[in-house]
Amino acid sequence: MRTMEKDQDILSLYQEIILDHGKSPRNAGIIEGHDCRSEGKNPLCGDRVTVTVALDDEVRIADLKFDGKGCAISIASASMMTEAVKGLTAREARMMTEAVNTLCREATSPDQIVKELGDELGPRIEQLSALSGVSQFPARVKCANLPWHTLMSCLDGTGVVSTEG
């Protein structure tokens, strides 16, 4: 069992990771010659994000970038997403999106979610554990989910998601 003190340490570590991605976002910008592009808005907070994706011959995400304006959580979540889903199929990206949604909404421990996702996706979701800190701030859940939902609508637009079975 964790002590209170340890929980505090983990929360401040999560906060540091989010602030770091918020300040120095990875993969910011627009991919020229992208395969799909989607824009998302979260009017509640004023967050806006544009996601562009380039697919490879096997219809995996070869590259993705985001261009956004918004709160630190929306930018951090977008930045972390661009690192976490590279190389995945649309179906796998959807599993990641659902896992992030669970991370942000519930008090489910990240460890449990990592275990459920298995060997391939588990380690990827582990890198996103910091987003579970958002579950303490229900108003921010939409901020964290925005880039992921935008990625889903981007991939849906190509018809790639129809491979989901």
Window contacting Zn ion (CB under 5 A); options: 31-39, 61-69, 111-119, 142-150: 142-150
Question: To which H or E segment does residue 80 belong?
Answer: helix 72-84
Q: How far is the CB of 12 from Zn ion (least distance, A)?
A: 21
Residues in 68-107 that interact with Zn ion by CB under 5 A = 70-71, 74
Window contacting Zn ion (CB under 5 A); options: 15-23, 42-50, 111-119, 121-129: 42-50
Q: Angle 30-97-33 (CA atoms, 0-180°, nearest 5)?
A: 20
Size of the site for Zn ion (CB under 5 A): 6
Q: Out of 19, 45, 141, 161, name the contact with Zn ion by CB under 5 A.
A: 45
Nearer to Zn ion, 35 or 47 (CB): 47
Asked if 45 and 21 touch (Cβ cutoff 8 Å), the reply is no
Q: How far is the CB of 158 from Zn ion (least distance, A)?
A: 27
What are the angstrom distances between the C-alpha of 36 and each of 11, 33, 121, 164? Answer: 36, 9, 23, 18
Interface mask toward Zn ion for 1-40; x: CB under 5 A: ----------------------------------------
Nearer to Zn ion, 10 or 71 (CB): 71
The span from the CA of 160 to the CA of 130, in Å, is: 29
Number of helical (H) and strand (E) elements in the chain, helices listed first? 5, 3
Verify binding: residue 143, Zn ion, rule CB under 5 A. Answer: yes
Question: To which H or E segment does residue 55 belong?
Answer: strand 47-55
The span from the CA of 44 to the CA of 14, in Å, is: 24
Q: Out of 18, 21, 31, 47, name the contact with Zn ion by CB under 5 A.
A: 47
**Residues within the interface to Zn ion (CB under 5 A):** 45, 47, 70-71, 74, 143
